[in-house]
């Protein structure tokens, strides 16, 4: 049975449709009802995968039999001509990918190689000569991709981390993607020590590791002090939760925070009340019931937040700090 894979169908969730332009679910009951309805409808179509629901919107990564594709399109209200998901790009094995890029490098050929990830992913690692758009969402990546590839319909295009089907649906002749992604390429390189990796640095991962090493190259800097570093972390203060790069020395010095006065005050007060965690312990300060003070864009862009980088933390009201401290000291926020 032919399947449309998760990476190919990822674009369905990012394509504007009436379902994704609807207002947020106003109550938990309505959200739960919507989830149950999705489970039921997708189950009938034999679809499996994951759906993420957040204040910024809905993201789905699905696998669907090509025989049920028409039904899925009708369910989402997508026009059949929007994207032809049966137009599959050429999936190069890590070895084929490496050889193709190596030949282009040796011949000094100009190729179009696009990194389709978000800015914080490509900051710590990337393929040599790749174009790395400064974007926050996959939707933004697609817009930039279309601009980059305009007029190159008859040229070979290389890209990693999804979107190949979109170009093929718009008249492009040769689109190559990396089968298995960066992780598979890393395994290929590690099992062939004589091969020099064309990928430099780490591969960002969406789990507690926040990254895996592909090579020992460090291509990024600590956002706190500027020293070479490629380790992402989240600010220990969950009402900040900033995603940023921080070296071990700064992590210790700043109590695993981003270093803002807001976060240092909250975290230090928390430790005074409930005790500091043992060295190396993964302990988060979670003032109950208080939402993150940053939107998605600020939360993943340290340059907008960290003062050393020119950021401005003044958008956090003083009363917010006082409110949190009052709740911690009064015991209204439970400890450990």
**161 a catalytic residue:** yes
Question: What's the token pair of residue 335?
Answer: 């400890």
Q: Which of 64, 149, 161, 258 is catalytic?
A: 161
Report the distance separating Cα 330 and Cα 320, nearest Å: 15
By CB atoms closer than 10 A (0-12, 13-18, 19+), residue 289 is exposed
Name 68's Cβ contacts closer than 8 Å, sequence gap at least 6: 45, 46, 47
Report the distance separating Cα 67 and Cα 65, nearest Å: 5
Distance of CA 222 to the CA centre of its chain: 19
Instruction: Provide the angle, in degrees to the nearest 10, between the axes of the packed helices 261-274 and 318-330.
Output: 0
Three-state DSSP class for 153? coil
Catalytic residues: 161
């Amino acid at each position: 049975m032919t399947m449309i894979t998760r990476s190919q169908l990822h674009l369905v969730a990012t394509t504007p449709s009436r379902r994704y332009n609807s207002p947020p679910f106003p109550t938990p009951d309505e959200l739960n009802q919507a989830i149950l309805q999705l489970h039921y409808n997708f189950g009938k179509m034999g679809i499996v995968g994951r759906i993420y629901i957040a204040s910024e919107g809905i993201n789905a990564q699905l696998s669907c039999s090509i025989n049920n594709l028409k039904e899925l399109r009708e369910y989402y209200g997508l026009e059949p001509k929007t994207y032809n998901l049966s137009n599959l790009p050429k999936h190069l094995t890590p070895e084929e990918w490496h050889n193709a890029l190596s030949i282009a490098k040796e011949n000094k050929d100009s190729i179009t190689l696009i990194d389709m990830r978000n800015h914080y992913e490509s900051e710590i690692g990337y393929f040599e000569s790749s174009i790395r758009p400064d974007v926050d969402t996959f939707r933004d990546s697609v817009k930039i991709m279309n601009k980059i590839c305009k007029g190159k319909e008859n040229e070979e295009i290389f890209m990693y981390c999804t979107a190949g089907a979109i170009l093929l649906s718009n008249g492009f002749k040769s689109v190559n993607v990396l089968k298995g992604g960066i992780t598979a390429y890393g395994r290929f390189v590690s099992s062939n020590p004589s091969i020099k990796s064309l990928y430099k640095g780490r591969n960002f991962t969406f789990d507690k590791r926040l990254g895996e090493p592909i090579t020992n190259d460090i291509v990024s800097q600590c956002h706190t002090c500027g020293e070479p570093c490629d380790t992402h972390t989240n600010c220990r203060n969950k009402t900040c939760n900033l995603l940023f790069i921080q070296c071990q020395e700064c992590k210790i010095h700043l109590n695993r925070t981003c270093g803002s006065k807001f976060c240092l005050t909250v975290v230090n007060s928390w430790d005074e009340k409930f005790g500091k965690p043992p060295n190396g312990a993964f302990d988060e300060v979670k003032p109950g019931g208080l939402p993150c003070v940053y939107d998605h864009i600020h939360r993943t862009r340290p340059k907008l937040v960290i003062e050393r980088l020119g950021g401005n933390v003044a958008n956090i009201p003083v009363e917010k700090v006082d409110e949190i401290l009052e709740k911690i000291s009064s015991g209204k926020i439970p400890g450990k």
